[in-house]
């Protein structure tokens, strides 16, 4: 499942590159981890935090753009933005 999620986030990043949000040479590997607390879901990804500084954008705003660019998947029920220290 982690590999599947990583692939989805990589696809979202590629779409955002095509949209001009990031340069084509932006090379960041999405980090997918199990959450420490099940109240916060099954997995967490810090891609927005990784990209916020290079993109000069607020991480929450960037997370919204990443979520909008994520391809649909029958294996994912819901994607939510959490604040810092959530997992």
Q: Which pLDDT belongs to residue 40?
A: 80
Tokens of 27: 């090379």
Q: Which pLDDT belongs to residue 71?
A: 97
CATH classification at residue 21: 3.30.1360.70
Write down the pTM of the prediction. 0.87
Q: Is 80 contained in some domain? A: no
How many structural domains is the chain composed of? Answer: 1
Containing structural domain, residue 25: 2-69
| Chain position carrying tokens 């909008």 | 68
| Chain position carrying tokens 């810092």 | 84
DSSP 8-class letter at 71 = P
Q: What is the mean pLDDT of each run of 10 residues along the chain (87 residues)?
A: 96 95 88 88 92 89 96 95 67
Burial code (b: 16+ CB inside 10 Å, e: under 16) for 45-62 equals: bbbbebbbeebeeebeeb
Q: How far is CA 13 from CA 4, 32, 39, in A?
A: 14, 14, 27
């Amino acid at each position: 499942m982690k590999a599947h999620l990583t692939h989805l986030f990589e696809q979202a990043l590629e779409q955002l590159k095509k949209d001009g949000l990031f340069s084509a040479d932006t090379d960041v590997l999405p980090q997918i981890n199990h959450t420490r607390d099940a109240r916060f879901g099954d997995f967490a990804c810090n891609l927005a935090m990784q990209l916020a500084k290079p993109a000069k954008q607020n991480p929450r705003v960037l997370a919204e753009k990443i979520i909008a660019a994520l391809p649909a998947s029958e294996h994912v029920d819901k994607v939510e933005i959490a604040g810092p220290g959530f997992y």
